[in-house]
């Protein structure tokens, strides 16, 4: 194929992929037209990059976003991608975001609205906690980026393989071990609350109480084998709808 033919072929493929990405976003419920157009602009940006999937995450993915919500998107990359290549993607995104008029329109909706874009490679390794080291984001990251995300665009079956690895939940042995670790940390922090109050360390006691609350939520989700999306927001939605615990 000639150089001209190759350029034409790439251009046609890009146009087709753009049309496919727009058809995918058209099926989703975005809070505003600006959120939808911004999502399409992010997908268009990624078509010529070494990205395996563009995933809509958080409230927009769950259909609970408002006009003031961020547009949260995660880019799945090859685990073997070098640090240099990843930095080039990050730099290209900063330039695209800075020059995109649709992103300024989105930001104009609210002081808190904008595009929040993360890059991840789908490798999660749970780490043991030191004394009082929790909570961590192990289950949250899998929940946001796999269990509760919506693909806007995919290249190949990398995301499908990722879902097969982590859904419906990770293995029983690590689940039991993490439940033991998280529960122990929660109990320890509750004990520290009482000790702190006795010493008139009220702000430290509040800090330990807040950690205990989040560890309690983490343990609750692990015990049920359900991935959460946060321990500091969307609590009612997660407890009432996902876990079926309205009384709690």
Domain ranges of the chain: 3-121, 172-242
pLDDT at 246: 95
Q: Tell me the C-alpha distance between 21 and 47, whole Å.
A: 10
In this structure, the number of other CB atoms found within 10 A of the CB of residue 207 comes to 15
pLDDT at 9: 36
Q: ω into residue 185 within 30 of 0, thus cis?
A: no
- 74 phi/psi in degrees, rounded to 5: -120, 135
Quick one: residue 171, left, alpha or beta (phi over 0 = left, psi -120 to 50 = alpha)? beta
Q: Tell me the C-alpha distance between 196 and 218, whole Å.
A: 23
Instruction: List the chain pLDDT tens, one digit each, 248 residues.
Output: 454 443 343 334 444 444 444 545 667 899 999 999 999 999 999 999 999 999 999 999 999 999 999 999 999 999 999 999 999 999 999 999 999 999 999 999 999 899 999 999 999 999 888 876 789 999 999 999 999 999 999 999 999 999 999 999 999 999 999 999 999 999 999 999 999 999 999 999 999 999 999 999 999 999 999 999 999 999 999 999 999 999 99
Instruction: Tell me the residue ranges of DSSP E strands in 16-93.
Output: 53-57, 71-76
Q: Tell me the C-alpha distance between 56 and 26, whole Å.
A: 13
The pair of structure tokens assigned to 41 is 């602009």
The highest-level CATH class for domain 3-121 is alpha beta
In this structure, the number of other CB atoms found within 10 A of the CB of residue 84 comes to 7
pLDDT at 22: 54
CA-wise closest residue to 242 among 92, 159, 139: 139
pLDDT at 229: 97
pLDDT at 130: 80
Distances (CA, A) of 225 to 102, 145, 189, 241, 243: 39, 16, 23, 15, 10
């Amino acid at each position: 194929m000639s150089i001209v033919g190759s350029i034409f072929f790439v251009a046609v493929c890009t146009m087709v992929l753009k049309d496919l990405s727009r058809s995918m976003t058209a099926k989703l419920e975005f809070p505003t037209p600006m959120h939808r157009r911004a999502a399409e602009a992010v997908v268009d940006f990624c078509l010529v990059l070494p990205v395996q999937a563009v995933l809509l995450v958080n409230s927009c993915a769950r259909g609970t976003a408002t006009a003031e919500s961020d547009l949260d998107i995660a880019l799945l990359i090859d685990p073997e991608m070098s640090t240099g290549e990843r930095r080039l993607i990050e730099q290209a995104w900063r330039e695209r975001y800075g020059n995109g008029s649709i992103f300024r329109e989105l930001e104009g909706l609210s002081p808190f609205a904008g595009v929040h874009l993360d890059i991840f490679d789908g490798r999660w390794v749970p780490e043991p906690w030191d004394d009082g080291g929790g909570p961590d984001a192990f289950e949250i990251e899998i929940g946001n980026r796999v269990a509760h995300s919506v693909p806007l665009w995919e290249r190949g079956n990398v995301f499908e393989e990722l879902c097969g690895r982590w859904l419906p939940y990770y293995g029983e042995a690590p689940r039991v071990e993490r439940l033991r670790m998280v529960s122990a940390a929660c109990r320890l922090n509750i004990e520290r609350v009482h000790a702190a109050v006795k010493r008139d360390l009220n702000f430290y006691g509040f800090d330990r109480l807040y950690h205990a609350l989040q560890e309690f939520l983490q343990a609750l989700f692990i015990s049920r084998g359900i991935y959460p999306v946060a321990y500091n927001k969307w609590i009612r939605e997660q407890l009432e709808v996902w876990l079926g615990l309205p009384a709690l």
